[in-house]
A and B are shown apart, each in its own frame.
Chain A
Amino acid sequence: MPDGLVAVVKRDCPTCSLVEPVLQQLAGAGALTVVSQDDPSFPAGLPVTDDRELEVSWRLGIETVPTLLRMADGAETGRIEGWLRGQWESFTGVTGLGEGLPEHRPGCGSRSVEWGVEEELARRYGGRVLRARRVELADLEDDVEAVYDRGWSDGLPCVPPTEERVLRMLAGTRRAPDEVVAVVPPDLVECTVEKVAVNAVLAGCLPEHLPVVLAAVEAACRDEFALHGVLATTWSAGPVLVVDGPVTARLRMNSGVNALGQGNRANATIGRALQLVVRNVGGGRPGEVDRATLGNPGKLGWCFAEADDDLRPFPPLAESRGVPGSALTVFAGAGLTPFLDQASRTPESLARTLALVLRTVGHPKAALGMDALVVLGPEHGRVFREAGWDRERLLAELDPLLELQPDEFRRGALGIAEGMPDALADRPLPKFRPGGLLFAYAGGPAGMFSAVIGGWVSGPAGSVPVTVPIEEA
């Protein structure tokens, strides 16, 4: 653009039409270039740069019309948007602009930022931002079937990852597309923000979901989570994501009725995106490295938010693990065991029910083998809250209830061959390792129910839950 003033307008905008005489005034007062987005004959009587292709608007980053910019030595030194007489006068140094016009009118949206257009312009004029291999489809290929045919799907239909969709997805984060997020097992591939974005598109995510998916990939690929083992195991485990903090309300995640079930886009697609990254980037596929005997439905994707109502019995899970605010915890969970207790009105009684259920994780005679994540429903949470039991108190009260005696766990005891090795059968054993019992709080308001999500091999020899912060919008 030449030095001087530059006005970007479109005829379709009433404010642009309103300021047409103002532009005539400015053209008479000094150097003015008018860029028209939709009609090169507008404004009448002025030389106009035809920008129906929108390249100039895209390069100038125009979001509103009219926009008035000042260029000096080829660089922009300032801009104003919409029509505000005083602002235009001080910006241009020309007084008496637009006599008889209203003092103020907001502008309209620039054609260059219309839905779908911005991404197309970025693709056309932005150079090659994206590095992923471009896969051309044959004329007769159905794009959804093409995703199946190439082995990119988890079994459900995917959103075809076009360049426009991936560019739009990348707008959900401030991180650079080529930044490496994690090294993904089992193939130990460096995974960039762009590759996560491609898989987030496949999964059906919105751009604002991307920061949560990025956090999930980062957390699940930490060495202590042992994702290779979680994937390869014959056990049913897969990553379970618990999301906390302001991000959950912003994304309208479900932490209430049917929190662990279907029906919420963020819950459903964020967990799915992580599993698609494992499949497509890491190369972890069922029947190959994934050797699960049974698996569990949550391996399609398992993500939920903790309820952040005023009735919660304890602080959020992530906060209890040292990460306040928007954060995510990944747990190697093997499936859901809901349980009822509709009669307990004291925390002592309810804790005993909980302990009985927790004892069944893995096997009722197994000690120290697996972690567990308890999802307390609101009506059970109420019992602990009203009694003043915090997380630490509940854990302390559960300790003796979760101590297994040799006569309970010895091999052959109870007429069951399975059991703990004889070398360990000379002392009581705790069901869980220290730190191996996690509590989250979610669910609908009615029902004295909660659920236990049993884990996988726990601790340093297996998987340790990981909590990471989520990039704020």
Chain B
Amino acid sequence: MARVLLDPTSERRPAERALTARPASLAGLTVGLLDISKNRGDVVVAELEALLAADGVRTLRYRKPTFARPAPVDLRHEIATRCEVVIEALAD
């Protein structure tokens, strides 16, 4: 008889989602700038904000309450509904 083991895993492959195609240009798009509350993440975001503003790109800033946890679902929803592009400052 074949030897059988029981699967200790969740039995689901990790959800693989294709990345949204990269836009050729940021013209007319809104870029979300997400600071995850890590040290100096705000510095990175501020620099990017200035660079993008100089190019005339509209930006919105967001901040996770703590880097220790996943972003709250409301924050994710707001970014998804208001932005077409997101840049996340991981800072480490």
Given A283-B10, A283-B14, check contact A162 B5 (CB 8 Å).
yes
Given A187-B14, A280-B10, A283-B10, check contact A462 B4 (CB 8 Å).
no
Tell me, yes or no, whether A308 is within 8 Å of chain B by CB.
no
Select from chain B the residue with minimum beta-carbon distance to A141.
B3
CA distance A195 to B8 in the complex (A): 6
- Give the chain B neighbours of A202 by CB distance below 8 A: 8
- Give the chain B neighbours of A456 by CB distance below 8 A: 68
CA distance A141 to B4 in the complex (A): 11
Select from chain A the residue with minimum beta-carbon distance to B92.
A234
Select from chain B the residue with minimum beta-carbon distance to A234.
B92
When the two chains form their complex, are residues B3 and A462 in contact, meaning their CB atoms are under 8 A apart? no
Tell me, yes or no, whether B65 is within 8 Å of chain A by CB.
yes
- Give the chain A neighbours of B14 by CB distance below 8 A: 187, 283
- Give the chain B neighbours of A132 by CB distance below 8 A: 6-8, 11
- Give the chain B neighbours of A189 by CB distance below 8 A: 10, 12
- Give the chain B neighbours of A152 by CB distance below 8 A: 8-9
- Give the chain A neighbours of B65 by CB distance below 8 A: 461
Select from chain A the residue with minimum beta-carbon distance to B66.
A461
When the two chains form their complex, are residues A281 and B9 in contact, meaning their CB atoms are under 8 A apart? yes
CA distance A139 to B2 in the complex (A): 7
Tell me, yes or no, whether A199 is within 8 Å of chain B by CB.
yes
Tell me, yes or no, whether B23 is within 8 Å of chain A by CB.
no
When the two chains form their complex, are residues B68 and A130 in contact, meaning their CB atoms are under 8 A apart? no
Tell me, yes or no, whether A295 is within 8 Å of chain B by CB.
no
Given A132-B11, A187-B14, A283-B14, check contact A228 B6 (CB 8 Å).
no
The B contact surface, by secondary structure, is: loop
Interface residues of A, count at CB 8 A: 41
Tell me, yes or no, whether B69 is within 8 Å of chain A by CB.
yes
- Give the chain B neighbours of A134 by CB distance below 8 A: 4-7
When the two chains form their complex, are residues A143 and B68 in contact, meaning their CB atoms are under 8 A apart? no
Select from chain B the residue with minimum beta-carbon distance to A123.
B4
CA distance A142 to B10 in the complex (A): 23
Cross-chain contact of A229 among B8, B10, B69 (Cβ < 8 A): B69
Tell me, yes or no, whether A114 is within 8 Å of chain B by CB.
no
Cross-chain contact of A136 among B2, B12, B68 (Cβ < 8 A): B2
When the two chains form their complex, are residues A137 and B68 in contact, meaning their CB atoms are under 8 A apart? no
Q: How many A-B residue pairs have CB under 8 A?
A: 86
Q: How far is the CB of A159 from chain B (nearest CB, A)?
A: 10
Given A136-B3, A234-B92, A283-B14, check contact A199 B8 (CB 8 Å).
yes
Q: How far is the CB of B75 from chain A (nearest CB, A)?
A: 15
When the two chains form their complex, are residues A457 and B10 in contact, meaning their CB atoms are under 8 A apart? no
Tell me, yes or no, whether B70 is within 8 Å of chain A by CB.
yes
- Give the chain A neighbours of B3 by CB distance below 8 A: 136-137, 141, 143, 162
Q: How far is the CB of A1 from chain B (nearest CB, A)?
A: 30
Cross-chain contact of A462 among B7, B11, B68 (Cβ < 8 A): B68
Q: Mark A194-216, 1 if CB is under 8 A from B, else 0.
A: 01001100100000000000000
5 contacts between A and B (CB under 8 A): A133-B6, A133-B11, A187-B12, A195-B10, A280-B9
Chain A interface (Cβ within 8 Å of chain B)? 130, 132-137, 139, 141, 143, 146-147, 152, 160-163, 166, 184, 187, 189, 191, 195, 198-199, 202, 226, 228-229, 233-234, 276, 280-283, 456-457, 461-463
Given A137-B2, A160-B5, A161-B5, check contact A187 B10 (CB 8 Å).
yes
When the two chains form their complex, are residues B6 and A161 in contact, meaning their CB atoms are under 8 A apart? yes
CA distance A195 to B9 in the complex (A): 8
User: Among residues 70 to 92 in chain B, which have CB atoms less than 8 Å away from a CB atom of chain A?
Assistant: 70, 92
- Give the chain B neighbours of A282 by CB distance below 8 A: 10
- Give the chain A neighbours of B7 by CB distance below 8 A: 132-135, 198
Select from chain A the residue with minimum beta-carbon distance to B39.
A421
Given A226-B68, A226-B69, A228-B69, check contact A166 B6 (CB 8 Å).
yes
When the two chains form their complex, are residues A146 and B5 in contact, meaning their CB atoms are under 8 A apart? yes
Q: Mark B1-34, 1 if CB is under 8 A from A, else 0.
A: 0111111111110100000000000000000000
CA distance A132 to B7 in the complex (A): 6
Select from chain B the residue with minimum beta-carbon distance to A288.
B14
- Give the chain A neighbours of B70 by CB distance below 8 A: 228
CA distance A111 to B76 in the complex (A): 60
- Give the chain B neighbours of A195 by CB distance below 8 A: 8, 10
Select from chain B the residue with minimum beta-carbon distance to A151.
B9
- Give the chain B neighbours of A184 by CB distance below 8 A: 10
